Amino acid sequence: MGGLIAIGRLRVSSEFDDEFYLGLPKSLAPWDAANHVAQFLSAWLEETLKQRQFSVDSLNYVINELMENAIKYAADGRIELAVCVANDALLVSLTHPLLESRAKIYQALAQQVFEADPELLFAEIIERNTDADAGEQTGAGLGLVSLRQNYQAGLAFGFQRQDSSEIVQTTTQVSLPWQ
Amino acid sequence: MSIRTQDYQAHIDEANCKLILSGSLRLNAAPEYQPISDLMDAACVVAQQGSPAILTLDLTDLRFLNSSGINLLYQFVLKVKKQGGLGLRVLGSNSNAWQPKSLSNMVKFMPTLELVMT
């Protein structure tokens, strides 16, 4: 097993009061799964976490964006979604396999989203997409930067390379501060 | 001219030079958004015949828009700005959580754009 490359502070189970897991194989995740999972978990957590203050719409958007990215880009394997209750925030953590070539692109994007001024990066991505053909345009970078810009979300990323394979286990963590 | 699906509707109100998007838009990237982009272009042609030439983009009942859809909106704003000769008014609702967050930046991309949030 290769080492873990982290961008930002990846949080671990011991930091959470509760965790809710959902796992599904990529082969059973058509495009609509993003919507269904986001709607279901948002509505269910609204009921389950009544004592906490959070935006259900924000949670819906976060889960949908992460699931859409996973459905688009994940290699064959398991998509694991966790919603975690921490003292300061509600976390959504998505882990899935990526081919190494795709993981390199995502790691560079993650680094950029993590470090850049979100307002400037949002404008840069919009301008970049203006120059691209429709088929090359993507909401991936825009989705991540919009989480920082519009939802005050914290982001962290993990890339776990596996020896003797071209697969990188990739984790994206989004934290939504309690309101 | 309109597109109607179970999840969303897109409709040109020619009499009022208005393009109305409603429902929940979660399509997969720019190619799937192309029919809506084409409808937006058609709405521009309609609005350019008005006096004054102003297109109203009514998003009041658009409950959800993913990031690919946000990209579509901003690409449209940039296109209208670049082409010139057409004003743009965007109607939004504060009751749709994504809208105050995601629409407010449009004015930075097109300073003459009128954003009306209710």
- Would you state the pLDDT for residue A134? 56
Count of the separate structural domains present in chain B:
1
pLDDT digits (tens, 9 = 90+) for A149-163: 999 899 999 999 987
pLDDT digits (tens, 9 = 90+) for A31-85: 999 999 999 999 999 999 988 999 999 999 999 999 999 999 999 999 999 999 9
Q: Give the position of tokens 């921490």.
A: A86
- Mean pLDDT across A14-23: 91
- The residue of B27, B71, B99 whose CB has the most chain A CBs within 10 angstroms, and thus the best one to mutate to test that interface, is B71
Q: Which chain A residues contact residue B37 at CB under 8 A?
A: 134
| Integer Cα distance of A92 and A82 in angstroms | 6
- Mean pLDDT across A95-122: 95
Domain boundaries in chain A? Answer: 4-177
Parallel, antiparallel or unpaired: strands B54-58 and B2-4: unpaired
ipTM of the complex: 0.90
The CATH number of domain A4-177, selected from 2.40.37.10, 3.30.565.10, 3.20.20.80, 1.10.3720.10: 3.30.565.10
| Integer Cα distance of A24 and A82 in angstroms | 12
CATH of the domain at B65: 3.30.750.24
Q: DSSP 3-state assignment of A53? A: coil
* Length of chain A as a residue count: 179
pLDDT digits (tens, 9 = 90+) for B21-43: 999 999 998 889 999 999 999 99
Whole-model pTM: value is 0.92
Q: At A138, is the pLDDT very low, low, confident or very high (cuts 50, 70, 90)?
A: low
- The residue of A150, A151, A152 whose CB has the most chain B CBs within 10 angstroms, and thus the best one to mutate to test that interface, is A150
Nearest CA in chain A to B65: A61
